[in-house]
Structure 1
């Protein structure tokens, strides 16, 4: 399995869950501005720190399994995990906060 196939599967699961969780919990999802700002920050951090770790030879990738596109030394496939985190984690946060506020409202 190539890194891009694995990354696409991971992104698909995160995007589906990230969209479905707020709907199932009947809460409003995270704002688009927050997602864009988070994605920009995580993509920048991924480019910098993945490049540093690859330059330090902490890990390497099989070149035959990569698409060949890089940002710095980081292969483009590495950015899928940052984007998946941006898609999934805020939705989990919103759902958990909604549950918590509903629960505290009932206790009063």
Structure 2
């Protein structure tokens, strides 16, 4: 609902957002360890992205953005590397029926 949209906007835009702050630090080239040390706090996105991706895979739900976030946070890929991989994906409809792999 509306409160969910507000939470999403705050998470993405507020300089007080822990998730956004971690993302800014990662974008500046810090490792996840350095970013967490700099914030001196826990970011729920860091803890939840891998289990979320695991659950999505269990139910055959594609989550390409989450997959790339996990690659940066847990597999040491750079934001530039994952952006290149993400942009190299083939385009297809996201609203119509899709074929299962």
Q: What's the TM-score once normalised by structure 1's chain length?
A: 0.26
Higher RCO (CA-CA < 8 Å; seq separation 6+): 1
Q: What's the TM-score once normalised by structure 2's chain length?
A: 0.28
Greater fraction helix: 1
